[in-house]
């Protein structure tokens, strides 16, 4: 069975087409109309079953006659497929961050998710990159070039941005400010991981895993070496596609048809 997995995030949309293995994958910006983007990328692609995860899963699944699965389930399955000995998954998305603890039998034992504010998320780093007038893709390398340490006291995006403006006005180097922001975000994620009970192997997925500074700091704070997939952004979409192939998926991971009225959770 050829299956499609869509991970509709707040900033990007990820697609995986899976048959015997991954036949196709794609990462594009969500834009102002993520549903239309999903329709465009699925147009001309053949698949027999569609499972959608991520921030916009209910809206997209209802319109495209797909099924939905939580991000927790999708990332758990995707990470465990790539690394059978994975026991902890860290994902930092555009609007939320999550840490998932898996049992030896791949079941989710515990998870912690920050979805109430943007503290420590990709959006947090994006706002700070704009304040420093740096491309978000270059923020991690800028932080690694810092020659001194400064302190950021707040992880609230609004207050942290004010602190950044104050530090710039004091003449602090952009690299030092960038490092302080990464330290604050890494401390937040490490705290979440410790609360659920960290167990190796630890897989770092999502777009933020492309940030070398964040990878290094989280690993240092947890005292473990993080495993980063070759394409960390598609782990959730891969999990959704794999679940679409499983007849048992509906019971184990709560794959279901979306409600008639879309909603977020």
Q: Looking at the structure, tell me whether residues 219 and 104 fall in a common domain.
A: yes
Q: Looking at the structure, tell me whether residues 216 and 258 fall in a common domain.
A: no
Q: Looking at the structure, tell me whether residues 183 and 139 fall in a common domain.
A: yes
Q: What percent of the chain has pLDDT over 70?
A: 91
What's the domain range around 32? Answer: 1-83+231-265
* pLDDT in the model for residue 155: 74
Q: Looking at the structure, tell me whether residues 133 and 201 fall in a common domain.
A: yes
Q: Looking at the structure, tell me whether residues 171 and 249 fall in a common domain.
A: no
Q: Looking at the structure, tell me whether residues 90 and 221 fall in a common domain.
A: yes
Q: Looking at the structure, tell me whether residues 78 and 37 fall in a common domain.
A: yes
Q: Looking at the structure, tell me whether residues 183 and 119 fall in a common domain.
A: yes
pLDDT tier for residue 116 given thresholds of 50, 70 and 90: low
Q: Looking at the structure, tell me whether residues 102 and 217 fall in a common domain.
A: yes
Q: What is the mean pLDDT of residues 145-163?
A: 86
Q: Looking at the structure, tell me whether residues 102 and 179 fall in a common domain.
A: yes
What DSSP assignment string belongs to the chain? --EEEEEE-SSEEEEEEESSSEEEEEEEE--S-HHHHHHHHHTT---SEEEEESTTHHHHHHHHT-EE--HHHHHHHHHHHH-TT--EEEEE-SS-EEEEEE-TTS-EEEEEEE-SS-TTSHHHHHHHHHHTT--GGGHHHHHHT-SS-------SHHHHHHHHHHHHHTT--HHHHHHHHHHHHHHHHHHHHHHH---SSEEEESGGGG-HHHHHHHHHHHTSPPB--SSGGGHHHHHHHHHHT-TTHHHHH--BPPPSS----
Q: Looking at the structure, tell me whether residues 75 and 91 fall in a common domain.
A: no
Evaluate if residue 251 carries a pLDDT over 50: no
pLDDT tier for residue 54 given thresholds of 50, 70 and 90: very high
* pLDDT in the model for residue 124: 86
Q: Which domain CATH number covers 76? A: 3.30.420.40
* pLDDT in the model for residue 258: 63
Structural domain total, the chain: 2
Point out the least confidently predicted range of 17-21, 95-99, 120-124, 192-196: 120-124
* pLDDT in the model for residue 264: 37
pLDDT tier for residue 107 given thresholds of 50, 70 and 90: confident
Average pLDDT, the chain: 89
């Amino acid at each position: 069975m050829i299956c499609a997995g869509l991970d509709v995030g707040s900033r990007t949309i990820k697609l995986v087409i899976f048959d015997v293995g991954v036949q196709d994958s794609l990462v594009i910006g969500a834009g102002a109309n993520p549903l239309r983007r999903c329709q465009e990328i699925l147009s001309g692609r053949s698949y027999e079953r569609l499972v959608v995860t991520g921030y916009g899963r209910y809206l997209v699944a209802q319109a495209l006659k797909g099924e939905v699965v939580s991000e927790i389930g999708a990332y758990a399955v995707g990470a465990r497929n790539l690394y059978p000995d994975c026991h902890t998954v860290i994902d930092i998305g555009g609007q939320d961050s999550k840490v998932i603890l898996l049992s030896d039998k791949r079941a989710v034992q515990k998870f912690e998710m920050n979805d109430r504010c943007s503290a420590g998320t990709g959006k947090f780093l994006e706002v700070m990159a704009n304040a420093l007038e740096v491309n978000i893709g270059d923020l991690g390398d800028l932080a690694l070039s810092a020659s001194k340490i400064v302190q950021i006291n707040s992880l609230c995006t609004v207050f942290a941005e004010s602190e950044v403006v104050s530090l710039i006005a004091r003449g602090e180097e952009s690299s030092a400010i960038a490092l302080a922001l990464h330290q604050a975000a890494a401390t937040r994620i490490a705290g979440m991981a410790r609360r659920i009970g960290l167990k190796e192997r630890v897989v770092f997925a999502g777009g933020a895993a492309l940030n070398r500074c964040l990878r290094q700091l989280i690993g240092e704070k947890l005292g473990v070496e993080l495993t980063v997939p070759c394409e960390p952004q598609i782990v959730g979409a891969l999990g959704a596609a794999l679940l679409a192939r499983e007849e048992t998926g509906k019971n184990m991971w709560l794959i279901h048809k979306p409600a008639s009225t879309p909603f977020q959770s």
